[in-house]
Structure 1
């Protein structure tokens, strides 16, 4: 309990310091990418469509997701995608587009999640940490100088929650923490490999609870919150094509659910229209005095 109170106090102070120069009417734009197993089919297709629509709306073929969101968070394989689209190159621009990130994760999925047998009777499947580490190091190595990227090298604030097995307490890899203390400036590949989604989901109660809470919070302005989730999709080959065509599901107050007439693709299109129309300069980035990341003007 004391550790939780201390963590809350630290994050409260960091949040206050980071947002102290923000205008009261500024809306913080958050992109959260769930794990979704080991394939990230749903998240991947949603991210690609989101970035394509942003480029179409802005008539800017170089626009990327990091340009239009203030904070990016992710868990499991979603953490890998979140880190890839925010990892900065030597010029302070994102190293990967959404399409490039999804393609690389898909192509190297068998290496990222290479299973091996374990246990007394070798019935328990384990992920080969060596194989995953090698792939992640390659993904988060800067091409210009070959340096392994750290949390301070991201273009936008990045959050990756995980669970500390030693203290039995939640822990968050954060660029804000990295800027405050070098001891928290973890290498990106280490941050993303800490939350692999290798357990089959039996009951998705946590995400439903969170979705209900967020749905209630945005009940007066539902256009500010969009959740993309797939239900009952068929074969893997079909899923990629059907993700955006599937009808969306909306959370209602008091735990209710409603099947929408809009598809997931339609919802993303509407959200992008609002996102681009209300695009403003991002909040001041976390103070990274020693970082090579340059300040981006007008959210770019």
Structure 2
């Protein structure tokens, strides 16, 4: 029985590694294609026979890309994992763009999030008087760690902590 459990556990572990590798490959393709405009690998491109002809209504829409960031920060990590992932993404964006002052908000047109994800969205995309984002991803991570959800008011769902007078009305 133990051998069967060990074999099953090993297969699940290997399966998870394959999923992680696939997720990494997909993210890398999306990152290069959409954030930096690099051409995708030909083995992932759509062939002529699989292309769909857009309707006349769609043809009139601007050909520009809209980059959307959706932040799901729920679950047992209370937003720390999402905030750490965003800090890693911002560091990668800075390195690849060659701009040491680049922010996540510089690479996305729209942001969405709920709960802690909404707080992260607000922190990363609210611009100051100079037009620059008020918080970088590392600062947002620090904020989430220092203001864990246990410190947030639970009245009527999520609300901002009382110790943020500049944001709270």
Q: Within the alignment, does 1:29 sit opposite 2:67 as a pair?
A: yes
CA distance in 2 between partners of 1:102 and 1:133 (Å): 16
- The alpha carbon displacement at 1:90 in A equals 1.4
- Is the Cα–Cα contact under 8 Å of residues 54 and 63 in structure 1 kept in the other structure? yes
> 1:210-289 alignment to 2 at 5 Å?
none
On the 8 A contact 1:51/1:65 being kept in 2, the answer is yes
Does 1:111 pair with 2:151? yes
1:93, distance to aligned residue in structure 2 (A): 1.0
Q: How does 1:85-100 map to 2 (within 5 A)?
A: 85-100=124-139
Asked if the contact 1:36/1:42 (under 8 Å) is kept, the reply is no
RMSD: 2.7
Please state whether the residue corresponding to 2:90 is helix, strand or coil. helix
Structure 1 or 2, whichever has the larger Rg, is 2
By relative contact order (CA 8 Å, sep 6+), the higher-ranking structure is: 1
Q: Could you list the per-position Cα deviations for residues 204-234 of structure 1 after superposition, in whole angstroms to 9, with x for gaps in the alignment?
A: xxxxxxxxxxxxxxxxxxxxxxxxxxxxxxx
Unaligned runs of 5+ in 2: 1-59
Displacement of 1:77 in angstroms is 0.6
Matched, 1:70 2:109: yes
| TM-score, normalisation: structure 1 | 0.32
Which has more strand, going by share of residues?
1
**Which residue is 2:57 aligned to?**
none
Distance in 1 separating the partners of 2:98 and 2:161: 38
Residue 162 of structure 2, aligned match among 112, 134, 139:
134
User: In the comparison of the two structures, how many residue pairs are matched?
Assistant: 107
Runs of 4+ in structure 1 displaced over 4 angstroms? Answer: none
- Asked if the contact 1:89–1:95 (Cα under 8 Å) also holds between the matched residues in 2, the reply is yes
- Comparing both structures, which one devotes a greater share of its residues to helix? 2
- Tell me, yes or no, if structure 1 residue 79 matches structure 2 residue 107: no
Partners of 1:133 and 1:104 lie apart in 2 by 11
Give the conservation status (yes or no) of the 8 Å contact 2:113–2:121.
yes
State whether residues 80 and 144 of structure 2, in contact with CA within 8 Å, keep that contact through their aligned partners in structure 1. no
Q: Report deviation, 1:23.
A: 6.6
Unaligned runs of 5+ in 1: 1-21, 114-126, 142-147, 149-188, 191-300
